Amino acid sequence: MFDELNRRKAVVYFHPTAASFAFNRVKDIPPPTMEFPFDTTRAIASLMFSGTLTRCPDIRWIFSHGGGALPMLAGRIVGLARNRPELAARVPGGVMAELKKLYYDVVGVGGRGAFAALKDIADPSHLLFGTDFPFWSPHETITALDGLSLPAAELAAIERGNALALLPGLKS
């Protein structure tokens, strides 16, 4: 399936879910709160270390919620590849180079620390506005971005420009 998506130069959007084992792990905490970020991180690591990201370079991947826990775990994943040659061989350009190719929406990444961590792994041109509607109001993302006091050009790119560059058919 990924080879065909690659042939078509597809844009693939990934939104996490919670596996059945994740329910009721932490009393009174719904799975989206903690499990979604790790589901996203597991998906990215799986695509990377299966060799799919390298084998399918023409798929443009979008991951929700700033890549989940990935920005905070990127250093550990780099270290894993450094210490496991069989995994490093599946990402010949390096872990960070692969992470920089991915796109990330900024839903739930409005805190300065979380946003800074995301920008450590992602080029600003790969950050996209998202809402997670109907679970979050679009206004929450707008407010969070406003609170970051980003330069006007960077904010405009995240709010619209980056998506138009990724999906030029939206311009009409």
Cα–Cα distance measured from residue 114 to residue 25, given in angstroms and rounded to the nearest whole number = 24
Cα–Cα distance measured from residue 131 to residue 74, given in angstroms and rounded to the nearest whole number = 24
User: Phi, psi (5° rounding) for residue 167?
Assistant: -125, 75
- What is the per-residue pLDDT across 73-129, written as a single tens digit (0 to 9) for each? 999 999 999 999 999 999 999 999 999 999 999 999 989 999 999 999 999 999 999
Q: Which domains does the chain have, with CATH numbers?
A: 2-171 (3.20.20.140)
- The CB-based long-range contact list for 154-162 (8 Å cut-off, 24+ gap) reads 154/124, 157/124, 157/125, 157/127, 158/106, 158/124, 158/127, 158/128, 158/129, 159/129, 160/129, 162/103, 162/125, 162/126, 162/127, 162/128
- What is the per-residue pLDDT across 137-152, written as a single tens digit (0 to 9) for each? 899 999 999 999 999 9
Q: Is the pTM of this model over 0.75?
A: yes
What H or E segment, with its residue span, contains residue 127?
A: strand 127-128
pLDDT value for 172: 58
Burial zone of 157 (CB within 10 Å; 0-12 exposed, 13-18 middle, 19+ buried): buried
Of 62, 162, 68, 161, nearest to 114 by C-alpha is 68
